[in-house]
Structure 1
């Protein structure tokens, strides 16, 4: 007979596996997708962002190592491309899919019900293609700007540690975007009575998830701002602004959030963070 204290840990572990199975391309063992095992999957969702953040930081460390120890200039273009591809590879493009579907629906300027139907359509429209291209162009350009400070000597650094610190404000955004997304699923109105998002929301412990994600977002933002300074603070402010727009925009266009809008929020909030960090380095 299992001890009483092992049960919550087993449930959270299974929720963690389900979360990584759904929101990442990382291979996971099979567990039953039932209401009990899915109870804390949204609480585990930010850990996917932690893996992306660690991978992004590792890539930045490699860039610094190549620049200073190997004396090889890999070019800001290659460095930026690696940074752009890391989230796409780890997530398996699930959030990009939601972003594209949302852009198609919003771009149609149709009635609310028609917009919801467009998001369910498996075909890819012109608004989705153009929006996706613009998104990656913007992400790539901003990443080039930040990596260029190190590779092209845009800023003066005294040692390798200062170089690496230049990239640190980028890593937390992958966690905070998912904390806010999970908080939204637990608190925002949901547009449809069916679908994966409704299943996840109904199976999750909503009050616990909202409290968990809200507290961790506050702590995460505070510690990031203290440790990493103005760029991290600007990134947090940008994500909060996108979060507010997400609430009103989703209600206006769809009557609430959907799985696709949740993916779109993750992508847009991370792009806004990247823009904020780049802006902080340019103007301050």
Structure 2
């Protein structure tokens, strides 16, 4: 029963998909991060379904890209994009570590976050419009699972910048050994799917995601002394964007 409740908690926390309501207890939250990637699996399935509709009906590439871009935002409720924007404001403030952490908690948005998110989605939509076949869409869909798996690994493996907030709550309550085993197993499974879909493009997508994770760790440690809930959203958003761009470049280069 605790495992089922952990599944519901993960989807209640990280998606807008309606879930049963109950009181969250520590024993139920210990395994919630194990199911975080499955929110990405739902997004991936919806993305693949949209790709099938795109192939069946005469839909323009811009509309295809716009809907494909909207799917992860609608499912997640924009949670990770919010973290991305807060992180952009903090990273580009050039203030002290303490001030940057304060900026992350500020509910208002600044000019840097607006500029960066506009540039991000211009690149994202442009790359998405280049996905020329269903296999490319499937690779992008798998990327939503991959980004959340790596994010979950980061939550239980990387140093936190502060001892408060949702990330600290989930990381401190989590059954670290069980969560790590589950997430690394899911990472291996996702890697196998990517390589099955396309060996070389799968390798490129995995390499891009791992390099993004390394950059994320470096940036957060340098700027904040660790990660936070907002920077976790920053990573998910950045990793998804990198996957779409990599797959799009491979489509243009006729590797898929």
Please say whether Structure 1 and Structure 2 have the same fold, judged by a TM-score greater than 0.5: yes
**Residue 152 of structure 1 corresponds to which residue in structure 2?**
none
Question: Over aligned residues, Cα RMSD in angstroms?
Answer: 1.1
TM-score (norm 1): 0.87
CA contact (8 A) 1:18 1:31 kept: no
Aligned residue number for residue 143 of structure 1: 128
Residue in structure 2 matched with residue 127 of structure 1 by the alignment:
112
CA–CA separation in structure 2 for the residues paired with 1:207 and 1:181? 16
Secondary structure at the aligned position of 2:161 is classed as coil
Structure (1 or 2) with the larger CA radius of gyration: 1
Work out which of the residue numbers 61, 82, 89 in structure 1 matches 2:67.
82
Could you say what secondary structure the match of 2:29 adopts? coil
- Superposition pairs of residues 1-284 of structure 1, within 5 angstroms: 10-66=1-57, 73-146=58-131, 149=132, 163-283=133-253, 284=255
Query: Do the aligned residues in 2 keep the contact of 1:231 with 1:281 (CA within 8 Å)?
Result: no
Q: Secondary structure at the match of 1:172?
A: helix
Report how many aligned residue pairs link the two structures: 254
Scaled by the length of structure 2, what TM-score is found? 0.96
Are the counterparts in 1 of residues 136 and 247 from structure 2 also a CA contact under 8 Å? no
Paired residue secondary structure (2:28): coil
| Stretch of structure 1 that moved more, 81-90 or 205-214 | 205-214
Structure 2 unmatched runs, 5+: none
Structure 1: any 5+ residue segments left out of the alignment? 1-9, 67-72, 150-162
1:48 Cα deviation after fit? 0.2
SS at match of 1:115: helix
CA deviation vs aligned residue, 1:54-88 (integer Å, no higher than 9, x gap): 0000000000111xxxxxx2210101101000000
**Higher relative contact order (Cα pairs below 8 Å, separated by 6+ residues):** 2
Distance 2:158 2:229 in 1: 12
Q: CA deviation at 1:206?
A: 1.2
Alignment check: 8 A CA contact 2:139 2:197 kept = no
| Other structure's SS at 1:28 match | coil
